[in-house]
Amino acid sequence: MHIKKGDKVIVIAGKEKGKTSTVVRAIPSLNKVVLDGLNMMKKHVKAKKAGDKGGLIPIAMPINVSNVKLADKKVKVEKKVKKTTKKAK
């Protein structure tokens, strides 16, 4: 895997496309990484003790490593350019 914990990456595919974040955790066996503040899901948590509160807590879920690339200072976000061709008459 070319991405390690602490690397700054850009998401190139998925619902978080174009956003930049740092890698919190790398999971090489699954080819996934957990990014700081991206790909958040809500988890239902039950109160463990009598005084604790249950509820929904946000958790960062793993994203496939093929959907991220290392960030460069020069390149911010890649944009797709639609190629058009002129019709010959």
Half-sphere exposure of 58 (CA within 13 A, CB side): 6
Percent of the chain with pLDDT over 90: 52
Strand, helix or coil for residue 72: coil
**Among positive and negative, which fits the CA dihedral 21, 22, 25, 30?**
positive
Enter the DSSP assignment of 88.
P
Look at the domain 8-70 and name its fold: SH3 type barrels. (2.30.30)
Q: What is the pLDDT of residues 8-35, one digit of tens each?
A: 999 999 888 999 999 999 999 999 999 9
Q: Where are the domains of the chain?
A: 8-70
Supply φ then ψ for residue 58, to 5 degrees: -80, 135
Q: What is the pLDDT of residues 39-51, one digit of tens each?
A: 999 999 998 888 8
